[in-house]
């Protein structure tokens, strides 16, 4: 569903991604790990289409479309969801209003009928329930006064409501305590790989730590370093990184390449 080939991108004149290739198939959870400054957040921002990031080479195909050719809102309507590391506050706008407008805007682009207020509230209630969030919280303004954990939880509720086919989650686990991490992790599972549901969704999980991967079991783990994927393996790769550190894996990889 997502095919990134030899992607080069820069921001503020500095090359960050230097030939990154990666593929995600329906049903896959693909974890991206790597040291700070490797380009993990840049990858997420480039996929989302954030202004200020310039693609200088390579291609990204998403659901049969040239992703890089789409505006950010068109990417969302096509089924791409970005889980933000630092979710933004929008004062004066309730989560309910924000998400209903966003969902209906997406539906409009897709040529679908808008959801009525009642239909939307029913959906919102159900998805919030998955993350242990009550409606009072959804009536509050977007991320205003939310704790770090609440913000991440709200991101997952948004994901549940917008029902994307691909979720790119940028360090969703940062700033979470153990309990919140479990709730969010189980939320990701419930939304993106529902039990008994069709395995047609993909997740690109950007993280530093093994602990989220204990809950959201990845199919593949890749190591991103200096703007490139230097190694891809199964879940055991994440465990090795946890035990041996990035340096060891990177050194080995560089040695093999030499």
Binding site for other proteins (CB under 8 A): 48-52, 71-73, 75-77, 81-82, 84, 87-93, 97-99, 101-103, 105-106, 109, 141, 158, 162
Strands 166-170 and 202-206: parallel
| Closer to other proteins by Cβ: residue 48 or 218 | 48
CB of 19 to other proteins, least distance (A): 25
| Closer to other proteins by Cβ: residue 98 or 209 | 98
DSSP string, 81-112: EEE-SSPPPEEEEEHHHHHHHHHHHHHHHTTP
| Closer to other proteins by Cβ: residue 73 or 139 | 73
| Closer to other proteins by Cβ: residue 73 or 217 | 73
CB of 206 to other proteins, least distance (A): 15
E-strand stretches of 48-194: 53-62, 65-66, 80-83, 90-94, 141-142, 166-170
Dihedral sign (CA 144, 148, 152, 154): negative
Angstrom distance (rounded) from CA 224 to CA 148: 26
CB of 251 to other proteins, least distance (A): 37
CB of 204 to other proteins, least distance (A): 14
């Amino acid at each position: 569903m997502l095919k990134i080939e030899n992607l080069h991108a820069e921001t503020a004149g500095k090359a960050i991604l230097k030939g990154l290739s990666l593929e995600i198939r329906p049903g896959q959870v693909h974890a991206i790990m790597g040291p700070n400054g490797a380009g993990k957040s840049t990858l997420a921002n480039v996929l989302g289409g954030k202004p200020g990031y310039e693609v200088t080479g390579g291609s990204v195909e998403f659901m049969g479309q040239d992703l890089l050719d789409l505006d950010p809102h068109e990417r969302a309507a096509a089924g791409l969801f970005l889980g933000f590391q630092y979710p933004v506050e929008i004062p004066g706008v309730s989560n309910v209003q924000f998400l209903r407008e966003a969902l209906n805007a997406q539906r409009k682009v897709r040529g679908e009928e808008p959801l009525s207020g009642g239909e939307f509230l029913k959906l919102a209630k159900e998805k919030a329930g998955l993350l242990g969030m009550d409606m009072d919280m959804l009536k509050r303004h977007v991320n205003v006064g939310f704790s770090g954990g609440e913000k991440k939880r709200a991101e997952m509720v948004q994901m549940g409501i917008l029902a994307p086919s691909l979720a790119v989650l940028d360090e969703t686990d940062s700033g979470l305590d153990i309990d919140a991490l479990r709730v969010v992790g189980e939320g990701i599972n419930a939304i993106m790989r529902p039990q008994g549901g069709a395995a047609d969704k993909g997740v690109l999980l950007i993280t530093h730590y093994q602990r989220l991967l204990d809950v959201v079991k990845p199919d593949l783990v890749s190591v991103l370093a200096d703007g490139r994927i230097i190694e891809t393996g199964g879940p055991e790769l994440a465990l090795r990184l946890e035990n041996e550190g990035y340096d060891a894996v990177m050194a080995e990889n560089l040695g093999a390449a030499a």
